[in-house]
Amino acid sequence: VGHIIWLDLCKNLYMRFTLMKFKYDSQESMHAYAANVYTSVTEELSKAKDRRFIAVEQEFFRLWWDTVATDSHKRQVRQLVKEGRLEFIIGGQVMHDEAVTDLDDEILQMTEGHGFLYETFGVRPQFSWHVDPFGASATTPILFALAGFNAHLISRIDYDLKDAMQKNKKLQFVWRGSPSLKAQQEIFTHTMDQFSYCTPSYLPFSNSSGFYWNGVALFPDPPKDGVYPNMSLPVTKDTVHAYAQTMVDNIKQRAEWFRTNHVLWPWGCDKQFYNSSVQFNNMDPLIKYINQNSKEFGVTVQYATLSEYFQAIYQSNLTWEVRGSEDFLPYSTEPYQAWTGFYASRNVLKGLARQASSQLHAAETLFTSYRVMFPDGPVAKDWALSKLRALRWAVSEVQHHDAITGTESPKVADMYLQHLNLLISVLNNYLHVIVYNPLAWNITTIINITVTFPNAAVYDDKGQPVPAQIQRSAQSNVTNDLFIMVELGGLQQRNYLIKFSEKHCSQRPKCMWTYEAKGVLFERRNIQAWRKTGRRLLPVLSGCYKLMFDQDTNLLHSITHLQEKREVMMTQDFWEYHANGDVKVGPISDNYIFSANSSSVRAYKAVEMEIIPGKIVSEIRQYFYREESDKDYAYSVTTRVPECFGTKARCLRLEQTYSLGPLRLNTEVVLRTSSSLKNNRTLYTDDNGYQMMKRPYRKFTNNTLARNYFPMVRAAYIEDDVSRLVLVSDRAHGVSSQAHGQLEVMLHRRLWNNLPWNLGYNLTLNDSSIVMPTLWMTLSSISATSTRYQREAIELQHRPVVKPKLNMESRSSFPVHSVVLPPNLHLLSLSVPGWNYSANHDVHLSRIHSEPDYDRVLLRIMHLYEEGEDPELSKPDLLQGIGEVKELEERSLTGTWDLPSLQRWKWKTADNLDTKFKTCRSCGNFTVTIAPKEIRTFFVHFSSSNF
């Protein structure tokens, strides 16, 4: 979390220190490392004017600032920040992962960190240091540009691609991450060379610790005397020349890979600078020696911040090559080390993180609506804000590249689950419920409540009966699923009364409103008996599809889109990759890496099926048994086929929930959907839920299977000339198209290996949990799916929130007018951040901080569609007034910049496209035009009674 840079006259150098990975929980890491790092570095920087340090992630800095730092330390930090000798880079709560994180959560954790830094120090990060995520997404540079960054730095990209870029001096480029936004949000990007972000550790005259003098990290307790075991030879008169020569040789080697005279040379690595006095006291004389002998060495060096390095590059005034919207995924470090396994590691954590994010979004919009409607209402605003901030922190921290990725130890994973579970409430057997729609769209959908009674009747807040359906639960024989049709306006909530009974309803026509669905169980079928298939097909119909199930296999056979009259042959089942766990035998799979030692095999020997026809939803349950005689199934698919109520759009999706586990050890399980679509093994997956990326199948000399896996955060699809098969997901997975017409999703992994590094950190992923992810599937024409899948993904992510109505006498809900955006716009954020800084930068820097502003609303709107993706929905659209606006101004993505004052650096490119875009300082009548893929952020003060 800290870094230092140096610059030089003929070649520029850069040093960097990193605090720690999230292998350990935050409290233990603070105890062992973070407190020492920030205390030690603050004191050492204050001793010499030329020293520099760069802090990256705010979670640990904020913990140190709030719980460890003395008043003296805080004064020193403020002075160092003011002088530019301590620089905050990225500024988010964490250095987020780029493959499996969702756009909403990336923005949240950056906003949290940026708000803290601006409130506390009046600074706004303008550069990134994204050195450790396992691959680089094209969404990240877009977000950083929207946040006001001038340059972006990455490191982990595919080893053979990095090698080619080094040889051709193409490690630096201008990245236009969005094909719709183009140069509007381009950003200069520096890719670190093959030495990555750590100081080279090999020294010919010393040992493996290289240029590190502050000792070996001790965990979980630091040494009582503050002196860590040291392996490196100190810099003395006898060793300084050897150190200098080794360092200069490495600098000159790196210099050959870049176009300017400025070389970025990182100094430090993970868990460094907790004893920085030793570190600085060895670096200082080494730097001095090189500069005193610069004619001999041909190099001069100095400490510098990252901004100073990028300023030097910018002032070189070179013309840079443009990179389009391609990303750097997947990431491989060696021929058999494809980092595609973490796309599916710790499925439970990935699912809970997304669920918590959704709950937080609902809470933010609900509290904001309440504040606008009832600014003097009975809910204590300071109490509510404190709870929301705690939830923001919990959702933010899990976006770390060693958190949501599933690459942390079980102990740390449990910490994340504990923090996130504070957000999740379980609903069971409530008589009165409130259903809240957190989207700014009108919705007609189905909610499912698990109940213990076999019969129920449902009534809305006007006492009118509501269509419902009750049936035995898919996951339990002692509970029932109650499906309720709900219609809600944007940001609206409604009350529902549920009356339960042990007896069957006998009063008609009341009984007509709740359908009691019964299932039909089909005989278990062994795969060895699959000699003749397709003879006995059983149809399941909805208003949109005809699904045919094969009674000889109990598997799906085909899907016909009724309006388009096209039949697509399709099956779905589970397959397993068997992983090697012995490093002496061959490549292994672990938390990070997927390295299948052979093709997948069927994960079952027999399949059982149950079909439950319904009036609201029909359900097909398929149970997969490892052995035909097994009592318990190993895997299941529950497919819900909604009926059409008011709109056919909803019945176009097939809602599937899976159950997997506990897995056998060293097993990686995939859901394989095989179809007759001629997709040439070409796949499309999303980058962080922001945009879709084309993934053509590529052949490699080694490890082709694993290197054709990609992250799916929200959506993936395959298509031919006529139809498209789309999956949208409630959490991140790995996805691939290993054969024609095939869409393969890795859902769960359980692994053990004897790699010493993994054993040392307890990273063997012996995950014995049962996971239950959800996918929604759509099969339709390309044009039809283009209008729907973005909204479907958001509707899955932000399903209605169901909560108990605890006090029937009090007003637990409040009347809210429906807030409905155009179909191509999404309400990304509607929150009361509670920041106490002034929106005017000069005022903020000059005044004493006041109380939090509870009336300032942070509003973000996103255009969902790409330029040219749909004839109508891809057009720029108008955001009309949500209500009477007293004050409004447009801000940067994280809110810290007044947008008209944000002047990002313009980097020279061959085409020099225009980067100007419209801003809204004080928009009359609150009418804003939002272009394809734009995200626009506003501070709004509403008049009361807007919603």
The residue whose two tokens read 């669920």 is 355
The residue whose two tokens read 């997969």 is 624
Buried b (16+ CB within 10 A) or exposed e, 375-413: eeeeeebeebbeebeebbbbbbbbbbbbbbbbbbbeebb
Cα-based distances in Å from 866 to 348, 870, 928: 32, 8, 18
Name the phi and psi angles at 331, rounded to 5.
-115, 130
Same domain? For 536 and 497 the reply is no
Same domain? For 525 and 504 the reply is no
Task: Pick the most confident of 270-274, 374-378, 596-600, 601-605.
Answer: 601-605
Same domain? For 468 and 606 the reply is no
Output the six-digit token pair for 342: 């973490």
pLDDT single digits (tens) 514-524: 999 999 999 99
Using CA atoms, how far apart are residues 870 and 787, in angstroms rounded to an integer?
7
Compute the average pLDDT of residues 353-371: 93
Q: Is the pLDDT of residue 426 over 60?
A: no
Please identify every residue annotated as catalytic: 132
Helices (H) and strands (E) in the chain, counts: 19, 45
Range with the poorest average pLDDT among 2-6, 199-203, 261-265: 2-6
Q: Is the pLDDT of residue 924 over 60?
A: no
Same domain? For 559 and 707 the reply is yes
pLDDT single digits (tens) 218-255: 766 777 776 766 668 899 999 999 999 999 999 999 99
Q: Is the pLDDT of residue 876 over 90?
A: no
What share of residues in the chain are helix, strand, coil (percent, to 5)? Answer: 25, 25, 50
Using CA atoms, how far apart are residues 195 and 552, in angstroms rounded to an integer?
57
Q: Is the pLDDT of residue 7 over 80?
A: no
CATH at residue 492: 2.60.40.1180
Looking at the whole model, is its pTM more than 0.85?
yes
Domain termination site, one of 483, 516, 549: 516
pLDDT of the residue at 819: 86
Buried b (16+ CB within 10 A) or exposed e, 308-320: bbbbbbbeeeeeb
Tell me which DSSP letter residue 423 carries.
Answer: T
Name the β-bridge partners of 775.
Answer: 656, 729
Q: Count of residues for the chain?
A: 947
pLDDT confidence tier of residue 926, bands split at 50, 70 and 90: low
CATH at residue 767: 2.70.98.30
Q: Do the beta carbons of residue 250 and residue 195 sit within 8 Å?
A: yes
pLDDT confidence tier of residue 423, bands split at 50, 70 and 90: low
202 versus 871: which is more confidently predicted?
Answer: 871
Q: Do the beta carbons of residue 799 and residue 488 sit within 8 Å?
A: no
Using CA atoms, how far apart are residues 861 and 864, in angstroms rounded to an integer?
9
The residue whose two tokens read 């030692």 is 597
Name the phi and psi angles at 410, rounded to 5.
-55, -35
The tally of CA atoms less than 13 A away on the side-chain side of residue 827 is 27
Compute the average pLDDT of residues 648-669: 90
Buried b (16+ CB within 10 A) or exposed e, 471-508: bbbbeeeebbbbbbbbbbbbbbbbbbbbebeeeebeee
pLDDT single digits (tens) 166-203: 999 999 999 999 999 999 999 999 999 999 998 887 78
Q: Do the beta carbons of residue 485 and residue 477 sit within 8 Å?
A: no
pLDDT of the residue at 26: 59
Same domain? For 466 and 483 the reply is yes
The SS3 call for residue 870 is coil
Domain membership flag for residue 323: yes
pLDDT single digits (tens) 41-57: 999 999 999 999 999 98
Domain termination site, one of 772, 798, 824: 798
pLDDT of the residue at 18: 33
CATH at residue 175: 3.20.110.10
Output the six-digit token pair for 428: 């069971």
Compute the average pLDDT of residues 655-682: 97
Quick one: which of 107, 668, 703, 660 has its CA closest to 343?
A: 668
Quick one: which of 714, 850, 586 has its CA closest to 104?
A: 714
- In degrees, to the nearest 5, what angle opens at C-alpha 797 toward C-alphas 794 and 803? 125
Domain membership flag for residue 866: no
Give the chain's mean pLDDT. 89
27 versus 14: which is more confidently predicted?
Answer: 27
Output the six-digit token pair for 908: 């020279």
Using CA atoms, how far apart are residues 915 and 905, in angstroms rounded to an integer?
10
Cα-based distances in Å from 386 to 119, 377, 496: 16, 17, 30
Same domain? For 787 and 674 the reply is yes
Using CA atoms, how far apart are residues 711 and 139, in angstroms rounded to an integer?
13
pLDDT confidence tier of residue 916, bands split at 50, 70 and 90: low
Same domain? For 508 and 586 the reply is no
Q: Which domain holds residue 195?
A: 22-200+264-289+303-342
Domain count, the chain: 3
Name the β-bridge partners of 457.
Answer: 499
Compute the average pLDDT of residues 457-464: 91
Helices 58-67 & 103-121, crossing angle to 10 degrees? 40
Compute the average pLDDT of residues 453-464: 91
Same domain? For 658 and 779 the reply is yes
How buried is 83 (Cβ within 10 angstroms: 0-12 exposed, 13-18 middle, 19+ buried)? Answer: exposed
Output the six-digit token pair for 244: 């200098």
Written as one letter, the residue type at 814 is: F
pLDDT confidence tier of residue 428, bands split at 50, 70 and 90: very low
Q: Do the beta carbons of residue 802 and residue 445 sit within 8 Å?
A: no
Q: Do the beta carbons of residue 15 and residue 212 sit within 8 Å?
A: no
Tell me which DSSP letter residue 529 carries.
Answer: G
Compute the average pLDDT of residues 498-502: 86
Using CA atoms, how far apart are residues 513 and 498, in angstroms rounded to an integer?
12
Please spell the DSSP secondary structure of 324-379, one letter per residue: -S--B-S-EEETTEETTSTTTSSHHHHHHHHHHHHHHHHHHHHHHHHHHH-TT-SS
pLDDT confidence tier of residue 30, bands split at 50, 70 and 90: low
pLDDT of the residue at 816: 64
H helix or E strand, kind and range, residue 719 = strand 715-719
Domain membership flag for residue 69: yes
Output the six-digit token pair for 559: 């899907």
How buried is 465 (Cβ within 10 angstroms: 0-12 exposed, 13-18 middle, 19+ buried)? Answer: middle
Task: Pick the most confident of 596-600, 874-878, 895-899.
Answer: 895-899
Domain membership flag for residue 387: no
Same domain? For 467 and 600 the reply is no
Domain membership flag for residue 229: no
Output the six-digit token pair for 119: 């409130």
Using CA atoms, how far apart are residues 306 and 299, in angstroms rounded to an integer?
19
Range with the poorest average pLDDT among 606-615, 809-818, 894-903: 809-818
Whether cis (ω within 30° of 0) applies to the bond prior to 330 is yes
pLDDT of the residue at 885: 81
pLDDT of the residue at 534: 79
Domain membership flag for residue 75: yes
Q: Are strands 514-516 and 468-472 parallel, antiparallel or unpaired?
A: parallel
Range with the poorest average pLDDT among 266-270, 487-491, 862-866: 266-270
Buried b (16+ CB within 10 A) or exposed e, 13-26: bbbbbbbbbbbbbb
User: Rounded to the nearest 10 degrees, how much is the dihedral formed by the CA atoms of 795, 796, 797, 802?
Assistant: 90
Q: Do the beta carbons of residue 840 and residue 897 sit within 8 Å?
A: no
Compute the average pLDDT of residues 892-898: 96
Name the β-bridge partners of 499.
Answer: 457
pLDDT of the residue at 757: 86
pLDDT confidence tier of residue 502, bands split at 50, 70 and 90: confident
Same domain? For 41 and 172 the reply is yes
pLDDT single digits (tens) 718-777: 999 999 999 999 999 999 999 999 999 999 999 999 999 889 888 889 999 999 999 999
Please spell the DSSP secondary structure of 812-851, one letter per residue: -S---------TTEEEEEEE-----S-SSHHHHHHS---S
Same domain? For 30 and 125 the reply is yes
Q: Is the pLDDT of residue 551 over 70?
A: yes
pLDDT confidence tier of residue 808, bands split at 50, 70 and 90: very low
Domain membership flag for residue 367: no
pLDDT of the residue at 181: 95
Using CA atoms, how far apart are residues 727 and 792, in angstroms rounded to an integer?
10
Q: Do the beta carbons of residue 160 and residue 225 sit within 8 Å?
A: no
Using CA atoms, how far apart are residues 833 and 891, in angstroms rounded to an integer?
14
Domain membership flag for residue 745: yes
Written as one letter, the residue type at 552 is: D
Same domain? For 602 and 652 the reply is yes
Using CA atoms, how far apart are residues 552 and 526, in angstroms rounded to an integer?
9
DSSP H helices, 674-781, are 704-707, 756-761
Helices 410-421 & 347-373, crossing angle to 10 degrees? 30
Compute the average pLDDT of residues 303-323: 95
Cα-based distances in Å from 18 to 15, 150, 270, 911: 10, 22, 5, 37
Domain termination site, one of 798, 828, 861: 798
- Strands across the sheet with 857-863, in order? 825-831, 857-863, 935-942, 885-891
Using CA atoms, how far apart are residues 565 and 485, in angstroms rounded to an integer?
28
Buried b (16+ CB within 10 A) or exposed e, 542-555: bbbbebbbbbbbbb
Output the six-digit token pair for 517: 């669905």
Range with the poorest average pLDDT among 70-74, 118-122, 187-191, 449-453: 449-453
